[in-house]
Amino acid sequence: MTIRVMLADDHAVVRAGYRFLLEQVDNIQIIAEAADSDSAYREYFAHQPDVLVLDLSLPGAGGLAIIRRIAARDKNARILVFTMHEEVLYAQRALEAGAKGYISKNSDPTILPEAIEKIAKGQSYVLETIAQQLVLHYTRGEDGKNPMLVLTQREFEVFCLAIRGQTIHDIADNLHISQKTAANYMTQIKKKLEVNTVAELVRLAYLYEVT
C-alpha cells in the first residue's frame, strides 16, 4: 500500500531533503507541501494525505495551532511532528493537540520513514529519548515545577507566538480570533505566570527552554 505523505516546513531546502529521503522508500509518495501555517491547513484538506509531516516552527499560527485545528475537523488525522524542539513540554502539547507522533530533526534519517509507516498503520511513534522524558515528567510529578504547565493549550499557543515577537494584531490574525480575544489570552497568560511584560515572558521561555 502506498502511503500518501504531505510535508509542512518553512524551509524549501529542508523539504527538498525530506522529499529526496522519502522518495527512496518504495511505498511512500509525497503528494503535497506547505511552507506556512495557513497553507498547511488548506493543503491538508485539499489533498487528504495519509500522514502529515509537520514542523512546529511554521510561520503564522505555528504548528501547535494547526495540529489542533486539523484534529478538530478530522478526527482521523495522522500527524507526525518533525521538529528541532526536543523539549518535553512541546512534545506533551503536540500530542495533547492531536499529533500521533513526535520525532526530532536530529534523529537518524532512517527514523522518519519508520515513523511515517507506523503512523500510517494507526500506531503512534515518539522518539525514544523524548518518550523517556515524558515518562519521567509524569512519574516525578514535575507539573508544579514548570510554570508553563498552568497554561491551557490555546494559551500556550499564544505564549509561543508572543515570545517570537508577534503583536496582538499578528496573533489574532494568525489564530483567526479577534484582537480582543487575543488580548484577553495575553492578560490571562501574564496573570498565570505572574509577569507584566512580554520581555518577562521571553525570559521565562529562555529559563525553561521553551524557544
Q: How far apart, in whole angstroms, are the C-alpha atoms of residue 75 and residue 175?
A: 20
3-state SS of 85-135? CCCHHHHHHHHHHCCCEEEECCCCCCHHHHHHHHHHCCCCEECHHHHHHHH
With cell 482521523, the residue in question is: 76
CA–CA separation, 48 and 168 (whole Å): 32
Q: Which fold has domain 3-139?
A: Rossmann fold (3.40.50)
Q: What is the pLDDT of residues 59-84, one digit of tens each?
A: 998 899 999 999 999 999 999 999 88
The correct CATH number of 146-207 out of 1.10.10.10, 1.10.357.10, 3.40.50.2000, 3.40.50.1470 is 1.10.10.10
- Going by pLDDT thresholds of 50, 70 and 90, the confidence category of residue 210 is low
Decide if pLDDT at 139 tops 60: no
Compute and round to an integer the Cα radius of gyration of the chain. 17
Q: What is the pLDDT of residues 79-127, one digit of tens each?
A: 999 988 877 788 888 988 999 999 988 888 889 999 999 999 999 898 8
* Among 39, 40, 38, 33, CA closest to 14: 33
pLDDT of residue 143: 47
3-state secondary structure of 22: helix
**Long-range CB contacts for residues 38-41, cutoff 8 Å, separation at least 24:** 39/8, 40/8, 40/66, 41/66, 41/69, 41/70
Do 6 and 51 meet the contact criterion of CB atoms below 8 Å apart?
Answer: yes
User: What is the pLDDT averaged over residues 145-168?
Assistant: 82
List, for residues 160-189, the tens digit of each pLDDT value: 888 878 899 999 998 889 999 999 999 999
Written as nine digits, the cell of 89 is 513540554
Give the whole-angstrom CA distance, residue 53 versus residue 192: 33
Whether the per-residue pLDDT at 137 is higher than 60: the answer is: no
What is the pLDDT, as a whole number, of residue 209? 60
Q: In the chain, where are the structural domains located?
A: 3-139, 146-207
Please report the sign of the dihedral spanned by the C-alpha atoms of residue 11, residue 12, residue 17, residue 20: positive
Per DSSP, 143 falls in state G
Q: Is the full-model pTM beyond 0.85?
A: no
pLDDT the model gives residue 202: 79
Residue 146 has pLDDT above 70, yes or no: no
